[in-house]
Amino acid sequence: MIRLLLMLFPAFWLAGCSKPVPAPDPTLSGELIVGTRNSPTAYFNDVENEPSGYAYELISHFATQHGWKVRWEVSPDLASLYALAKEGKVNIIAAELTERAVKHQGLIPGPTLFITQALIISRLNGPAISKPADLAGRKIAVLAEGGHVELMEALKKKVPRLSWEVHAEAWPEELLSRLSEGEFDAVVINETDYDRARHYYPGLTVSQVLENYQKVVWALPRGTPKELAKQLKLFTAQMEQEGVLRRTFERYYGHIKRLDDSDIAGILSRRPLQLPKYKKLFQEANEETGIDWRLLAAIGYQESQWDPYATSPTGVKGLMMLTGDTADRMGVTDRLDPRQSIRAGARYLTMLRDSLPDRVKEPDRTWIALAAYNQGMGHMEDARRITLARKMNPDSWADVKMNLPLLAHGSYARKTKYGYARGGEAVIFVESIRNYYDILARFEDPHKPFMGLTENNAKSSKTLALQ
């Protein structure tokens, strides 16, 4: 019996230490299998029920370069995603993963996509938590798969009384919601996750930075073919060099820090009181122009906080704050009439958007048109010319918004066709509206016009998808 066991032991040992079987190599199968999770940035369906997201865009680009199809495996949580990788069922996990979390799972970190921070979030009206010692004895929630448990364990060496709860199936926003309701004293979360959700919880605040440099990566299973890992590295380097990484990041993350707490509290408090008065009017404009009524409402809030009688010192008036010239151009007889104002604002934005070259794609097309709504198309074209002169992409909002403030610099303003402009204000205008739109899109449903649209508006009835 002993002799038999000695003979069988190497076989048992090798079986226990066998390498994981990777998913089929896409260079041979022609199919890239990608694991992801549904989230506001990585992968989600937009208002037209089409897939979108940071991971979706970049992975689709990567696959297209190599002529591969993409099969998405969408899992409800990180634990399920990690299991797919360990079981050899995906080639890549494309979600917002930190390098530390990936290594902790025994997976291979891909190239760095961007940098984030690990934050400790608390309530403004909760216990004061301004330094590590304040965390002792507090009820703290940590996500199991986010790589933050290790950070807390390191902090515990300095704060022996530190303790925390590990949540295996919760999502970042769920923890923030429960913190807001008073279930916890603090939660540990990534900066990008907090920034996306902070609009809905104005009573929360950043109390401490747990770690200020976390690499966000995709994950590769053990046993991934070296050629695939090399191709992914080369692709990421190329996308960084060409500015695609930066522009894609800006599309999903670039605006989320613009609003302060009072801005967020303002729209959340006014939404149930003011918006119902004008919701139908925004939806009528949606039917006429095809622009999501929630985007039009976001513009109206940014312009007047939904006050139809708003008037600026410069004579701009109404809910959509139209100038006299714009009102005349749009056929408005009374700028203080909310229906006329909303309809004219929607038509004016449509006109600006349609005047841009066909090569300018959404959502950049709408963001650039919004900047023109604020500053005028002449100044917008000046900014795009400056962008091109600086060897950047004039059709990308991420690049144009970097150059708009230069319209206020004498060295540039003297050389532009339309001269000086407060271009930085246009950036604030657009980024604020993007945030207000995100908030309204969370709480308000898209408009679905009734059947039987007239021939004139049937073409425009499809809502512009910006999410």
User: Which contacts (CB < 8 Å, 24+ apart) does range 371-375 have?
Assistant: 371/397, 371/400, 371/401, 371/404, 371/426, 371/427, 371/429, 371/430, 373/299, 373/345, 373/348, 373/349, 373/429, 374/425, 374/426, 374/429, 374/430, 375/404, 375/407, 375/421, 375/422, 375/423, 375/425, 375/426
- Residue 47: the pLDDT is 59
Q: pLDDT (tens digit, 9 = 90+) per residue, 386-418?
A: 999 999 999 999 999 999 999 988 778 788 898
Q: Give which of 403, 391, 349 is closest to 374, Cα–Cα.
A: 349
pLDDT tens series, the chain, 467 aa: 555 444 444 444 444 445 666 789 999 999 999 999 887 778 887 656 688 889 999 999 999 999 999 999 998 778 888 999 999 999 999 988 899 989 988 999 999 999 999 999 999 999 999 899 999 999 999 988 778 998 999 999 999 999 999 998 777 888 999 999 999 999 999 998 898 888 888 899 999 999 999 999 999 999 999 999 999 999 999 999 998 998 888 888 888 888 888 899 899 999 999 999 999 999 999 999 999 999 999 999 999 999 999 998 778 999 999 999 999 999 999 999 999 999 999 999 999 999 999 999 999 999 999 999 999 999 999 999 999 999 999 999 999 999 999 998 877 878 889 888 888 899 999 999 999 999 999 999 999 876 444 444 434 444 555 65
- What the chain holds in terms of domains, given with CATH numbers, is 20-110+217-253 (3.40.190.10), 115-216 (3.40.190.10), 261-461 (1.10.530.10)
Q: Which residues carry out catalysis?
A: 303
pLDDT value at residue 1: 53
pLDDT digits (tens, 9 = 90+) for 128-147: 998 999 999 999 999 887 78
For the entire predicted model, the pTM comes to 0.78
